[in-house]
Amino acid sequence: MSATTPSTWLVTGATSGFGRLVAERALALGAHVIAVGRRRDRLAELADSAPKGLVTTLELDVTAPDAQEVLAEVVRLAGGLDVLVNNAGYGLFGSVEQIGADEARALFDTNVLANLAVLRAALPALRASRGRILQTSSLIGQFAWPASGLYAASKGAVELISEALAHELAPTGVKVTLIEPGTFATEFFGSVRVVEPNDVYLPTVGKFLEDVSALPPEAVGDPEAVADAIMAVAALEEPPLRLAVGADAIESIRASLRSRLAELDRWESFPRVPVGEGV
């Protein structure tokens, strides 16, 4: 698919951050954008600023029970789909022990189960067009820091779902790419829910949260770079499965992979329990 070819894009989380920037870029290419979000005023702003007829706005909470059916119908009415940017999600940080069941469930409902609902709604049309799927993950979809356990687990789920999906879709021509941004200046951080650590977790979770809040402005990237990366990879004939964006993402993921390989090598010859023995 050429970047200059008129196409139809479905972008979730299109009212702010990476989703809004990608929607604007796709519109600038002459694409029809199905912009999905929960904020009516932001969707109206996007529609008002776009060429007439190129935006279909959809005010929708992607965790709603009927979200899959609503999205599938909008795609049908649009006449097909070429690119899905599955971007909706939110952050929840705190110790694994202190995050309650209701908050954990809400996080996975949004970041994992809603992501799946969007995929199911879009996949028939994407198969027909041999289209592109861009899944927004995170550098901590590859590893976890103190305080990030539940959020990293939700993004790790998206990573493995997407990896399996890429294998499953390979014969159809549909390409899947995970976008793994580092730390970028979007509204994400303003909407993050933080569970403050108790005394037990002050040395780990508390220290990590303090360090993050003390990051200098130059440590936070320009979100335009992520939007540009999404647009570029969507146009590739053979895109990567994973694309880390930002120096911190690349360095941190590389360090994590090296650490895991070193641990695998170190424990490779550790005694194994023979088959049929043990618990």
Range of the domain at 165: 8-264
Mind listing the pLDDT tens digit for each residue in 101-128? 999 999 999 999 999 999 999 999 999 9
The type of residue at 13 is G
Task: Please give the model's pTM, rounded to 2 decimal places.
Answer: 0.91
Contacts of 58 (CB under 8 A, 6+ apart): 34, 35, 36, 37, 43, 70, 71, 74
Residue 269 lies in a domain: no
Q: Which is more confidently placed, 214 or 135? A: 135
- Indicate whether 276 belongs to any domain: no
Tell me, yes or no, if 52 is annotated catalytic.
Answer: no
Closest CA to 35 of 64, 9, 61: 9
CA distances to 37, 91, 140, 229 from 197, in Å:
32, 16, 20, 35
Question: In the predicted model, what is the mean pLDDT of residues 3-23?
Answer: 88
151 is catalytic: yes
pLDDT given at position 113: 98
Selected catalytic residue, list 7, 137, 148, 162:
137
Q: Is residue 192 part of a domain?
A: yes
Whether 1 is in a domain gets the answer no
Q: Is residue 167 part of a domain?
A: yes
- Residue 274 resides in a domain: no
Q: Which of 7, 95, 138, 151 is an active site residue?
A: 151
The reply to whether 201 belongs to the active site is no
Residue 184: give its domain's CATH number: 3.40.50.720
**In-domain check, residue 2:** no
Integer angstrom CA distances of residue 88 from 107, 233, 269: 11, 19, 43
From the list 7, 148, 154, 155, the catalytic residue is 155
87 DSSP 8-state letter: -
Yes or no: say if 184 and 225 are a contact pair by the CB < 8 Å rule: yes
Domain count, the chain: 1
- Taking residues 58-82, report their average pLDDT: 97
Residues 6+ apart with CB under 8 A from 60: 36, 37, 38, 67, 70, 71
Q: What is the pLDDT at residue 2? A: 46
**CA separation for the pair 155, 182 (Å, rounded):** 13
Q: In this structure, is residue 228 part of a structural domain?
A: yes
